[in-house]
Amino acid sequence: MSQAASSVTASEADALARKPNKPKKLILAAAAECTFHGPTLDTFSWLAPAKLAAPSDPDANETDE
């Protein structure tokens, strides 16, 4: 195995080691808003709870760039 291939493999191993084992499950109520134009569905939108809609950290908001 070449040095480049071994460094890629090591990087992949490091990345996998940092990943959480399972995603965290959340059970929260959510809703959907539908608008109709006559008998036809015009829009469909999920209404997320504030806990899910808020950014999880300051880096999630990229408006500073």
- In tens, the pLDDT along 4-63 reads 455 556 667 666 667 667 888 878 888 999 999 999 999 999 888 887 777 766 655 555
**What is the value of pTM for the model shown?**
0.37
CA distances 12 to 2, 31, 51, Å, are 15, 39, 32
Cα distance between residue 13 and residue 27, in whole Å: 32
Cα distance between residue 26 and residue 49, in whole Å: 11
Contact 30, 46 (CB under 8 A): yes
